Amino acid sequence: MNVFGVDIGGSGIKGAPADLDRGELASERFKVLTPQPSEPKAVVEAVREVVGHFDWAGPVGLTFPGVVVDGTTRTAANVDKGWIGTDAAALFSEGLGGRPVAVVNDADAAGLAEVRFGAGRGREGVVLMLTLGTGIGSALFVDGALVPNTELGHLELHGKDAERHASSAAREKHDWSWQEWAERLDDYFGMVEMLFSPKLIIIGGGVSRKADKFLPLLKPLRAEIVPAQLQNDAGIIGAAMQASRLAVQA
Ligand code: BGC
């Protein structure tokens, strides 16, 4: 089955129909820049443009970089604060001609895709996906079932929000070497391991393409730690997976 997914990020909004039997995009994705400021109306317009690029009339799944409960966006750490308390599902549905939509946290979407089709496939017990990007996103699974909106990027580390201390954006901003960044990741992963004892940690986000530069520098954990496999497409595929439930209901 093909279902459409849209991944809304701080810099780009990208979408494509995803093939949910194979766990890959069914056609090349289309991307527009995230409007700045990223206020709801402007983002809905950008999403319309992405979906409109394809001949797609069915349900659409969308990721959002904040807490999402029953379609309402509750936080907005790295996007316009106008999203806080917005019924995003209703807004996107209206913007897309009244069709059914599903809205899911971006890291949760990426995790759903990795656990079904990628690095977490067939893994039991506690599996944690961490996305290292502008912020740090998290997706926690127990025997393949997601505990949504865990927000482990906002744990406090050395008196700071962890994502300010250890995200990929923080590394670029402060120009840390891979070694310097790895030491910060050691602190962060150590804390996460202490709290959740995952068996497997999957590292996602754009920087996971360069996993060979920093994973070998990390102090050993009890958890196995591996890079994501679906990389850039995980958000789109996970969003489409959420929307596929609507397709079944329709
Ligand atoms: C947000 C999370 C999001 C993560 C990655 C964090 O700042 O609070 O909801 O998953 O960034 O985008």
CATH of the domain at 33: 3.30.420.40
How high is the pLDDT of residue 145?
A: 97
Q: Average pLDDT over the chain, rounded to whole?
A: 96
Please tell me the distance between residue 250's alpha carbon and the centre of ligand 1 in angstroms: 30
**pTM of the complete model:** 0.97
Q: How many structural domains are present in the chain?
A: 2
How high is the pLDDT of residue 249?
A: 57
Owning domain of residue 86: 2-108+233-249
Nearest-CA residue for ligand 1 atom 8 is 66
Question: Sign of torsion, CA 135 140 145 146?
Answer: negative
188 phi, psi to nearest 5 deg: -70, -50
The tens digit of pLDDT for each residue in 56-115 reads: 999 999 999 999 999 999 999 999 999 999 999 999 999 999 999 999 999 999 999 999
Report strand pairing: 60-64 vs 24-25: unpaired
Which residue stretches of the chain have pLDDT < 70? Answer: 247-250
Domain-embedded: residue 24: yes
- 218 shares its domain with 240: no
How high is the pLDDT of residue 247?
A: 61
How high is the pLDDT of residue 100?
A: 97
Structure token pair of residue 217: 């520098």
Report the half-sphere exposure of 34 (CA within 13 A, side-chain side): 18
- 14 shares its domain with 65: yes
- 39 secondary structure, DSSP code: -
How high is the pLDDT of residue 99?
A: 96
Structure token pair of residue 4: 């459409």
**Is omega for the bond preceding 37 within 30 degrees of 0, making it cis?**
yes
Give the residue, out of 105, 138, 167, with the most ligand 1 atoms within 8 A of its beta carbon, to mutate for a pocket test: 105
